[in-house]
Amino acid sequence: MLRLIVRRTLLSVPLLFIVSTSTFVLVALIPGNIARTIVGAQATEQQYLSVRRSLGLNEPLYTRYWQWLEGALHGNLGLSLYSQQPVSSLVDSRLAPTLSLVVGATVVSALVGVAFGVAGALRRGAIDRVVDGVALLGLSIPSFFLGFVLVEWFAVKFRLFPASGYVAFGVSPADWLESLVLPVVTLSAGGVAVIAKQTRDAMRDVLDRPFVRMLSATGIPRHSIIFKHALRSAAIPVVTIVGLVFVAVLGGSVVVESVFALPGLGSLAVQATTESDLPLIQGIALYFTVIVIVVNLIVDLAYGLLDPRVRVA
Amino acid sequence: MIARWAQTRRRFGWPSAAGLLRRRRTSGALLAGGLLATVVMSVAPSAYSAPKQSDVTAPRGTLTIAIPQYPPSLDPASGQNAYSDFFDLAYAPLIVKEPNGEFKSGLATSWQYGSDNKSFSIMLRSGVRFSDGSALTAAATKTWIQHEIAFSGGAGAGYFASLSSIDVTGPLSLTLHFSAPTPELELIFSQILEMGEIGSPNATSGKTLTTATDGAGEYMLDASHTVTGESYTYVPNPYYWDKSAVHWKTVVIKVITNPSTVLSALETGQVDVAEVQPITNAAAAKSAGLRVDAPLTLYMALALENRNAAPLSSLLVRQALNYAVDRGPIAKLLGNGYGLAIDQMAVPGDDSYDAALSNYYPYNPAKAKQLLAKAGYPHGFTLPVLSLAAAQQNTLAEALQGQLANVGVTLQPDIVPSVNQYETDIAGTSFPAVTLSWGRLPAVTQYQILWGPNGQSSRPFKSSSRQLNDIYDKLITAPTSTEPTVAKEMQQYLVQNAWYLPVAATPLAEFYRSNISGVNAAPQRNTDYDVEFAPAS
């Protein structure tokens, strides 16, 4: 298991390099530059050039990238060109809302999706069709639309939850939970659908296998067969899907953060891109990449826990 | 449905809504029967406590304002009035522009122009302190003005371009000397153009104003409760000289970009006042019991900038474009019922507004075609236009594209996605015409930043006009009594020479809850002043 962790961690180093390089080049290719944003359209050419020079934008791209890389290797991600604040502190301040949202949505997707999937596999017929219907709805409703519908009903009409904003866990755990319910439900819809279908198919496959009939014949209780044996066997493809759902949810958080005015990494990424704030975009991309690497590692470890053959391999 | 709910809420208050909630909770849990509902409902017992209507009259002590964008720096010396909400709370101006358009004392108790508008004397209020405790003095004011001029990319360099010296004539008095006549200094030193929002010399020397405030205003930034780009918390400045003007224990500015999210936040009481542009949700806001303040603030126009090269070098062509557009429907579309069709870059209340120019170019496609033919374009021409996928500029470009096609002119809008790219392109010479969404200002200022040789509409193609410059020279030396006449002359020149294709004046609206008073962007001022927001009695 330790070897697996070390190997995966080493493999992530070139990935981080590739992501940072490609982000740097791609952002540099976007038309417009931040010096214009800062000085405004009415500024004179001299003012614009002065700001451009002070931001180091006259340097060649490779020089700027090298400077950034050098700093990043020393834990310094530089300053935001827009706000002149350290990138690491800006990104750190946005990390908690995004992680709360994404982890919450993944957990809810997994729990609800597995529950629906198991129910669909066990009770073919009406519940099966419900699972199909839920999956279709979850996949077809755009998250921004679902978000607005939930806000209109649960925030504006019934006043159950706040319409927008985020409360830090440290300030009030109850308010933190309240502020996350609607965004998490919005973001979970697609994940629930995918996981429910995957679980149902995998469970059906396992339940049809001879070893399940054998377990039944030996008198082992049905709930034990389902949850202890069948679900564990069916879990490996489901875990893969959960990992993919996490990554998809991370991407989807950009829209949901906008709908619910959550101060997360997604909304920061949108701002930074609009402003061509290269160091900030780099910092966010780096954080996103690290999060995805960590999640993939967790998925690999979960394989090991569920299937001893993986550990041996 | 929303209106009915709002009425019910007002009539019965929160408890009855909570009862409704409890009933929903039980049936909802039964119905869902799954984890999704369990997760949602498990949190519900502490039902979200939105502000009660009764709280409205007994102030909660916190005013929350929603703004769609945040500034790169909190230093008002940048002079970027798009971010005035962030500056105004912490920095009192030397001169305050009131809703009726009059100027009144701020940090300055009196002021006076010298001969030919070449000097400006200011007497400061005594006993004023910045939020760091240091005193407001004439020397501090001088330091601040120098800071504004030196501010990289700031507006001060332009406003004070002809400033030759600043004489500190006493502890609380100073005189600014200019090499050329410089009118409109009241406006420049007011909260509108922000150059009079003085900060402490300690802060300027310490270079802390990017992320902190140190002004002599009603409030000061509480950095420990501020997240850059997300929410900015202001608390009362303990040294503010007029305690009665401090209405709130806390003022929070939240950055919310999505208009629908803003509306929901207003309806649920998470936000008290919100700046909204474009004004798309006004009907929904009103039906939800919110108030709408929608002064005409912006001119939407097509700036015909390259007047040195064909086809826009031809006056006939520029006039034809003006005749080819039916402004009424576009104004309705852009203003969502609050807009006004315009033929000039001014609306009633502006110094350069000339009623005689109203409907100067009535919609007449036949005449437009005639003029085009006379100018040598019987089959029209193709015109590349720079536009922006925001501030309704893309809508304007698309509407104009449709109408101008009727007279054979093919508008080719390049709609760029970001302000950043728009501002980069607008400074270049790739586009002979650009769509504009421009704020209302006095003619002198408009000349300086838009119409004149250094203005946005003339600088890229060096397309300024000697005649217009002469009118400006006359304007800046004109006595107050004749100033409006000369300002009108400037507008007449622009309209008659068709420098622009003005289409509509649109509002920069504020939506606000009924528990707030003082939201007043009167036509004479065009904008709200956040420190005037107070609990409604």
Instruction: Identify all chain A residues contacting B36, using CB atoms and an 8 Å cutoff.
Output: 108, 112, 185, 188, 192
Between CA A229 and CA A207 the distance in angstroms is 10
Rg (CA), chain B: 26
From A39, A178, A263, residue closest to B43, measured CB to CB: A178
**B125 and B192 together in one domain:** yes
Domain count, chain B: 2
**B209 and B309 together in one domain:** no
Phi-psi category of residue B294: left, alpha or beta, with phi > 0 → left and psi -120 to 50 → alpha:
beta
Query: Hey, is the C-beta of B40 within 8 angstroms of any chain A C-beta?
Result: yes
Which range marks the domain in which residue B191 is found? 31-43+59-293+513-535
Mean pLDDT of chain B: 85
**B220 and B114 together in one domain:** yes
Residue B18 domain-assigned (yes or no): no
Residue B20 domain-assigned (yes or no): no
Residue B19 domain-assigned (yes or no): no
Between CA B221 and CA B353 the distance in angstroms is 39
Residue B225 domain-assigned (yes or no): yes
Chains A & B: contacts with CB separation below 8 Å: 192
- CA nearest neighbour of B453 among B441, B439, B467: B467
Residue B4 domain-assigned (yes or no): no
**Which of B420, B437, B451, B457 should we substitute to test contact with A (largest number of A Cβ atoms within 10 Å)?**
B420
Instruction: Identify all chain A residues contacting B258, using CB atoms and an 8 Å cutoff.
Output: 258-259, 261
What tens digit of pLDDT does each residue of B510-525 get?
A: 999 999 999 987 777 7
Residue B284 banded pLDDT, cuts 50, 70, 90: confident
Decide if pLDDT at B153 tops 80.
no
The better pLDDT of the pair B21, A294 is held by A294
- In this prediction, residue B25 carries a pLDDT of 34
**B273 and B342 together in one domain:** no
Residue B351 domain-assigned (yes or no): yes
Decide if pLDDT at B30 tops 60.
no
- In this prediction, residue B22 carries a pLDDT of 32
**B96 and B171 together in one domain:** yes
The better pLDDT of the pair A302, B492 is held by B492
- At position A227, the amino acid (one-letter code) is F
Asked whether B125 and B109 are in contact (CB, 8 A), the reply is yes
Percent of chain B whose predicted confidence (pLDDT) is above 90: 59
Between CA A122 and CA A102 the distance in angstroms is 30
Instruction: Identify all chain A residues contacting B229, using CB atoms and an 8 Å cutoff.
Output: 83, 90, 263, 268, 271
Strands B250-255 and B62-67: parallel
As given in the structure block, the two tokens for residue B389 are 């996928």
As given in the structure block, the two tokens for residue A177 are 């939970």
pLDDT per position in chain A (313 positions), as tens? 777 778 878 888 888 888 888 888 887 777 666 777 666 665 667 777 777 777 777 888 888 888 888 888 888 888 888 888 899 999 998 999 999 999 999 999 999 999 988 888 888 777 778 878 877 887 888 888 999 999 999 999 898 999 999 999 998 999 999 999 999 999 998 899 889 888 998 998 888 888 888 888 888 888 888 888 888 888 888 888 999 999 999 988 988 998 999 999 988 988 888 777 888 998 999 999 999 989 888 888 888 777 766 655 5
What tens digit of pLDDT does each residue of B399-427 get?
A: 999 999 999 999 999 988 777 678 778 88
DSSP 8-state code for residue A24: H
**B324 and B433 together in one domain:** yes
**B372 and B250 together in one domain:** no
What tens digit of pLDDT does each residue of B98-125 get?
A: 988 899 999 999 999 998 889 999 999 9
From B257, B258, B423, residue closest to A41, measured CB to CB: B423
What tens digit of pLDDT does each residue of B160-191 get?
A: 989 999 999 999 999 999 998 888 899 999 99
**What's the CATH number where B353 sits?**
3.10.105.10
**What's the CATH number where B233 sits?**
3.40.190.10
**B289 and B300 together in one domain:** no
Residue B21 banded pLDDT, cuts 50, 70, 90: very low
Asked whether A61 and A25 are in contact (CB, 8 A), the reply is yes
**B337 and B484 together in one domain:** yes
What tens digit of pLDDT does each residue of B317-351 get?
A: 999 999 999 999 999 999 988 899 999 999 888 88
Instruction: Identify all chain B residues contacting A36, using CB atoms and an 8 Å cutoff.
Output: 420, 423-424, 427
CA B273, B274, B279, B283 torsion-angle sign: negative
**Which of A50, A154, A157, A255 should we substitute to test contact with B (largest number of B Cβ atoms within 10 Å)?**
A157
Task: Write the DSSP string, B383-434.
Answer: EEEEEESSTTHHHHHHHHHHHHHTTT-EEEEEEES-HHHHHHHHTSSS-SEE
Decide if pLDDT at B56 tops 50.
no
- In this prediction, residue B409 carries a pLDDT of 96
Terminal Cα distance for chain A, rounded: 9
**B212 and B74 together in one domain:** yes
Instruction: Identify all chain A residues contacting B40, using CB atoms and an 8 Å cutoff.
Output: 154, 181, 185
**B433 and B517 together in one domain:** no
- With both helix axes pointing from N to C terminus, report the angle between A126-140 and A87-122 in degrees, rounded to the nearest 10: 160
The minimum CA-CA distance between B154 and chain A, rounded to whole Å, is 7
What tens digit of pLDDT does each residue of B236-283 get?
A: 999 999 989 999 999 999 999 888 899 999 999 999 999 887 787 888
How many residues does this entry show for chain A? 313
- In this prediction, residue A42 carries a pLDDT of 59
Decide if pLDDT at B90 tops 70.
yes
Q: Mean pLDDT across the stretch B48-65?
A: 57
- In this prediction, residue A43 carries a pLDDT of 65
**B301 and B425 together in one domain:** yes
- In this prediction, residue A40 carries a pLDDT of 64
Which B residues 188-247 touch A at CB under 8 Å?
A: 210-211, 227-231
Residue B14 domain-assigned (yes or no): no
Between CA B170 and CA B286 the distance in angstroms is 53
Instruction: Identify all chain A residues contacting B422, using CB atoms and an 8 Å cutoff.
Output: 32, 41
How many residues does this entry show for chain B? 537
ipTM above 0.85, yes or no: no
Residue B53 domain-assigned (yes or no): no
